[in-house]
Structure 1
Amino acid sequence: MTTALTAPSTAERIRSACAKAGGAMLAAEGTEPTESPVHHLLDDGSFAITVPAGSAVAAKVVSAGAAGVQAVLEMTDYAPLPLREPVRSLVWIRGTLHDVPAGEVPPLLDLVASEDPNPALLQVNSTNADDGGGFALLRLEIDSVVVADSTGAESVGVSTLLGARPDPFCAMESGWLQHMESAHREVVERLASRLPVSLRRGRVRPLGLDRYGVQLRVETDEGDHDVRLPFTKPVDDITGLSQAIRVLMGCPFLNGLRARKL
């Protein structure tokens, strides 16, 4: 007998956070934290990341040579709505930073762009040389990966991370939740009716949406409470997602049919 999955795995949550995070901070020993606009997981289990070409961390990595530099990449997953506590989760990737040899920069850029066409890739210097602007391309060899949210912290192995995929709806999640909040409060209210009575006194906001269900944030005077409303089964496309949400709402017209006018 198999148990239906009702929430993303830790590895799936991390992959989705990597895909959604607009920016990340890189903390390397002996340097100030530096913004990293590109952070892409490669098939070999390392991360391709970018830092300003003229930054202290870029210079330190080059001078370190084959030894590399110990560093931590921190990614923050923010809620799409202006909540009291906007951070949904934090991901910390600890490992060793290495410079990418000049001859390997163009093909690695092409590889990353084919999977994640981030506009910041256009600003990477093709030889990683500091020409007074742009970004340098580095590689972070992973030692450990940890994610933390309101439920606690958990680590995941690199092989497990490579075997997971981002949620199929993570790219559109922000737009959907913002639209739900601004134009379809009745949907939020119908979903809120599924909550325990003790939580219905607070302000209910849409917090998350994935192939396994919907998350709501209940803001009360006593604090915030996050509740997951799982779908009956995971969904993989827009049609399945729309139907699953209607089921959660208790809508009798599961296929989008309209009630016949009398």
Structure 2
Amino acid sequence: MPSAAERTRTLVQSTCSSVLLVTGVVGARPEQLMPDIRTVGPEGELFLVFPVDSPVVRAATHAQDDEVTAVLEITDVAPVAVPHRIRGRAWVSGWITCVPGMAEPGRMLVRLEVDEVSLDDLWGTATVEPEEFAAASPDPLVEHEAELLQHLHSVHGEQVRALCGLVGAARGPVERVTPLALDRFGLRVRFSGEGRAGPGGFDARFDFPEPVRDVYGLRRAMHALFAAAAE
């Protein structure tokens, strides 16, 4: 399974929505706290781009020598329609400073020095040390996951439903089968319907024989998985 540090890096470097909650900034609209761009630096620091008139930039600029604490909250929402659509959240807290001259005109680069990292996702809850976060790499499928899940759901729906045969009949009848999450280690599917798991259904994880490195390896792994379900 992916480590907590890898899962957090994946969320940070994904297209999930995020807001930067800054100490002392009140009354700001949520969209004013959403960075236009977020990247991770070589030492694990986060670089966030905001409009120059953002409350975040004003707070970091006017703080002078005082430390300004902030928390980047990331919300991961499944890219396909499914009950209980939020897949997880991550929180990266630390201190922010402005980095003038490093963004395009009308924008400001804000540096978040990481102090604490926590995660609550489909795998469970975890805390991540800043050093672990800095050393981790995002999942290689992160840039394509949303598109791949939507493709599986719309084009390969019957093959995904056939995965029921690999789960067994003990769970009870299934009404909906939806691909929920995808990473280099495997595919997570949500089965919705009445059964032992209740009205909300249950999730099942289908591991690949070996971790995939790219979409080409994923294609081979998915063909093998569908072939096993068809037997």
TM-score (ref. length: structure 1)? 0.77
Which residue pairs with 2:151 in the alignment?
179
| Aligned-partner Cα distance in 1 for 2:139–2:123 | 19
Aligned partner of residue 141 in structure 2, secondary structure:
coil
Residue 22 of structure 1 contacts residue 37 of structure 1 at CA under 8 Å; is this kept in 2?
no
Which residue pairs with 2:65 in the alignment?
66
Measured against aligned partners, the alpha-carbon deviations of 1:82-117 in whole angstroms (never above 9, x if no partner) come to 2222211111001111122x3xx33xx5xxxxxxxx
The size of the alignment, in residue pairs, is 220
Q: Give the CA deviation at 1:219.
A: 2.3
Which residue pairs with 2:124 in the alignment?
152
* Code of the aligned partner of 2:223: R
| Aligned-partner Cα distance in 1 for 2:186–2:16 | 23
Aligned partner of residue 108 in structure 2, secondary structure:
strand
1:15 paired with 2:14, answer: no
Q: How does 1:99-138 map to 2 (within 5 A)?
A: 99-100=98-99, 102=100, 105-106=101-102, 109=103, 124-125=104-105, 134-138=106-110
| Aligned-partner Cα distance in 2 for 1:245–1:199 | 25
Distance 1:235 1:144, change over 3 A: same
Aligned partner of residue 187 in structure 1, secondary structure:
helix
Aligned partner of residue 80 in structure 1, secondary structure:
coil
Q: Give the CA deviation at 1:75.
A: 1.1
Distance 1:188 1:153, change over 3 A: same
Aligned partner of residue 53 in structure 2, secondary structure:
coil
Which residue pairs with 2:79 in the alignment?
80
1:188 paired with 2:136, answer: no
Aligned partner of residue 8 in structure 1, secondary structure:
coil
Q: Give the CA deviation at 1:61.
A: 1.0
Residue 44 of structure 2 contacts residue 134 of structure 2 at CA under 8 Å; is this kept in 1?
yes
| Aligned-partner Cα distance in 2 for 1:69–1:29 | 7
1:27 paired with 2:26, answer: no
Instruction: Tell me how large the CA RMSD over aligned residues is.
Output: 2.1
Distance 1:235 1:15, change over 3 A: same
| Aligned-partner Cα distance in 2 for 1:60–1:233 | 47
Residue 6 of structure 2 contacts residue 133 of structure 2 at CA under 8 Å; is this kept in 1?
yes
Going by fraction, where is helix more abundant, 1 or 2?
1
Higher RCO by CA contacts (8 Å cutoff, separation 6 or greater): 1
Measured against aligned partners, the alpha-carbon deviations of 1:15-71 in whole angstroms (never above 9, x if no partner) come to 211222243101111213511121211112211112232122211211112323111
* Code of the aligned partner of 2:214: D
| Aligned-partner Cα distance in 1 for 2:221–2:202 | 23
Structure 2 unaligned residues grouped into runs of 5+: none
* Code of the aligned partner of 2:4: T
TM-score (ref. length: structure 2)? 0.86
Measured against aligned partners, the alpha-carbon deviations of 1:121-142 in whole angstroms (never above 9, x if no partner) come to xxx43xxxxxxxx332111111
* Code of the aligned partner of 1:35: M
| Aligned-partner Cα distance in 2 for 1:42–1:156 | 17
Q: Give the CA deviation at 1:81.
A: 0.4
Q: Give the CA deviation at 1:191.
A: 2.1
Farther-moved stretch of structure 1 (20-29 vs 216-225): 216-225
Residue 36 of structure 1 contacts residue 49 of structure 1 at CA under 8 Å; is this kept in 2?
yes
1:141 paired with 2:135, answer: no
Aligned partner of residue 67 in structure 1, secondary structure:
coil
Residue 61 of structure 1 contacts residue 97 of structure 1 at CA under 8 Å; is this kept in 2?
yes
Aligned partner of residue 147 in structure 2, secondary structure:
helix
Which residue pairs with 2:176 in the alignment?
203
1:243 paired with 2:198, answer: no
| Aligned-partner Cα distance in 1 for 2:172–2:144 | 28
% same residue: 32
Runs of 4+ in 1 over 4 A off after TM superposition: none
